[in-house]
Amino acid sequence: MSRTLTGLRYRLRPHPGQERILARSAGACRWLWNWALAYREDLWLAARSAGARGFRGSTGYVHLSSLLPGLKERYPWLSEAPHHALQATLRDQDRAFSSFFAGKSGYPRYRRKGERDSIRFPDPKQFAVDGDWVKIPKLGWTRFRLSRPVTGRVRNITLSREGAHWGVSFCAEGQFSLPNRGLPAVGLDLGAVQSVTTSDGRVVSFPVTTPSEDRRLRWLQRKASRRLKGSARRSRTLAGLAKLKRHLVNRRRDAAHKLSTRLATAHAAIVIEDLKLRRMTASAAATTEEPGRNVRRKSELNRRMLAHGLSDFRRMLAYKCERSGARLVAVDPSFTSQTCSQCKHCAPGNRKSQAVFLCAACGHHANADLNAALNILAAGQAVTAQGGSGVAPADELRTHPRRRPPARLAPTGIPAKAAAAA
């Protein structure tokens, strides 16, 4: 098995003095990201206003990192953050712009305080790991909760904050294999009502928001909207809201991890639908001139589908199948819910309801999701019998939808005012 990269995340246990250093360092990295983003946009604006078409300028990592000493002289508090973490911030932004110009991701956004605060150390020479202790620049030895062994060679670490807690993530390189019992292939039907239905009759529903949790979530959101921005009461309300959301996400993610591990270690092949989740959950609002139809109903369907975290589950299944040696096959989802798994008769009238399938030709009666899972399995076996892989491209396993540039930017990423002047 080839060597691969994996992420290992643990709860960090810094003392109050170290927490203050972490908060200041994360703030410095966030400020530097926003400054570099504004610097790039100003250069674009000046260049396009001057008529320099096709200009990209000296806005790469090498140029921006050369400006760091001057920034530290002008803003002495930047020196409180580790120098390597500041460099890593500029390198991450340069990589983000490269992905944007290549059409692989959205336009980089400005970062806000308290949202995804993180510090990254890219060089193994900058840190050390010993048992449940990690040595970090500016912090020294800091303890973390060793919930599982740190395996492989640690290549870089990232410190990030989730609510009131800090965590440390190790990017480790090694051979991470999973056992496989080699059971027959199984087909999976993913849905908005039942999360996963297998072709052998198992039905798994990931935990979604209960009615009481949904009421509390809405109550906290309304409460936060009434608080004065910057007040202590609003901060406490937002902290409670973030804690509840984090609990819901962790609960669903835990169920997805357990199911994907069971499937990847049990079956020799797994067949899933090649669903275009980004398109399926797109808004139906359309435009002001041409409004969409059934907007509220489509919004509710989107919320129900996104609540199951199907994209996360598919991503987990992909890398776990790679580690266990199982074959993951993605097939065309067209008409799988309207086709009879017994006589292959396809008609919209076969699907009587969300849960009932009744074939108009042969009278076959079954659960609709189970019938679809059997069709998916048959389609996957046909693909492999013809020598095809059927594996969906890695682009479709993204967890987050592709973002568009801000409204003040043209589709090419050029500032809109400059594009209009040009």
Q: Euclidean distance between the first and final Cα of the chain, in Å?
A: 54
Does residue 273 carry a catalytic annotation? yes
Q: Give the pLDDT of residue 193.
A: 83
Together in a domain, 348 and 414: no
Q: Give the pLDDT of residue 134.
A: 93
Residue 91 has pLDDT above 90, yes or no: yes
Q: Give the pLDDT of residue 417.
A: 39
Whether pTM > 0.85 for this model: the answer is no
Together in a domain, 144 and 194: no
Question: Cα separation of 148 and 108, whole Å?
Answer: 34
CA dihedral 361, 363, 364, 367 (to 10 degrees): 110
Question: Cα separation of 161 and 118, whole Å?
Answer: 6
400 falls within a domain: no
Band (pLDDT 50/70/90 cuts) for residue 419 is very low
Does residue 254 carry a catalytic annotation? no
Classify residue 33 by its DSSP letter. H
Q: Mean pLDDT lowest for which of 41-45, 120-124, 211-215, 382-386?
A: 382-386
Together in a domain, 305 and 387: yes
Mean pLDDT for the stretch of residues 218-243 = 92
**305, 219 contact by CB (below 8 A):** no
Of 117, 273, 312, 322, which one is the catalytic site residue?
273
Band (pLDDT 50/70/90 cuts) for residue 237 is very high
Q: What is the pLDDT of residues 67-84, one digit of tens each?
A: 999 999 999 999 989 999
- Residue whose pair of structure tokens reads 């079954």 in the numeric block: 366
Band (pLDDT 50/70/90 cuts) for residue 398 is very low
What does each C-alpha distance from 394 to 97, 115, 141, 315 come to in angstroms? 20, 27, 38, 9
Together in a domain, 203 and 87: no
Together in a domain, 78 and 167: yes
Count, in order, helices (H) and strands (E) of the chain.
11, 14
Residue-number span of the structural domain to which 315 is assigned: 186-208+257-391
Together in a domain, 201 and 332: yes
**105, 111 contact by CB (below 8 A):** no
Band (pLDDT 50/70/90 cuts) for residue 58 is low
Of 189, 214, 289, 396, which one is the catalytic site residue?
189
Together in a domain, 136 and 200: no
Band (pLDDT 50/70/90 cuts) for residue 336 is confident
Q: Give the pLDDT of residue 345.
A: 85
Together in a domain, 358 and 415: no
